[in-house]
Amino acid sequence: MNIVLIALFASVATFIGGSFALRFRDKLHLILGFSAGAVAGVALFDLLPEAINLGTAYHSAATIALFIALGFFGYFILDRLILLHMNEGEGETHTPQGSFAALTLSAHSFLDGIAIGVGFQTSAAVGIVVTAAVLAHDFSDGINTVNLVLRNSETANWRVAFNWLLVDAAAPVFGATSTLLRHMEMEMLFFCVEPGIH
């Protein structure tokens, strides 16, 4: 299977979600409510139970829940610190929170692409499962990218949000491509150290 082509589906889903948010930006509060609910639903009813189920082979469910809570708490503190920093400079015309949020979502999308690439290099079945999980939330990722930029940057307009949407949409393809490069390096290394090759 062509991993980059499959990652392109994730890019398209992200772009469609972001375009939807740009098209209906006068109803951002409703779109934000939908995307927040979708992300919370996927996290609580799909990802969290699966993570605990897979992790109990190595740690107790209580330990896994503790690390999930610490991760959430750490992110919440980081988000609040950025918000406090933003409010200190109220005379400024630009705030970093929207761009920072869009950057973190783009990094997340890059990791989604890596997950797709590694999944398909493991087996077709694993790759399909990972791709389905990624596609399930990428529409909301696009919505969130646009919403966060438009809501949290005073100088941001639809062009700035669109540029961040392009970065977020391209990230899965670059992530999947990076796994192909690593796979090729490993094959070349294996070929060079194979007995009889000098």
The answer to whether position 57 is within a domain reads: yes
**Structural domain of residue 145, as residue ranges?**
3-193
Confidence of residue 50 (pLDDT cuts 50, 70, 90): confident
Amino acid at position 22, single letter? L
Average pLDDT over residues 127-150: 85
In a domain, 161, yes or no: yes
Which of the two residues, 188 and 166, has the higher pLDDT score?
A: 166
pTM above 0.75, yes or no: no
| Structural domain count of the chain | 1
Domain annotation covers residue 117: yes
Query: How many Å apart are CA 148 and CA 15, to the nearest integer?
Result: 15
- Report CA-CA distances (Å) from 115 to 119, 125, 150: 6, 13, 29
198 part of a folded domain: no
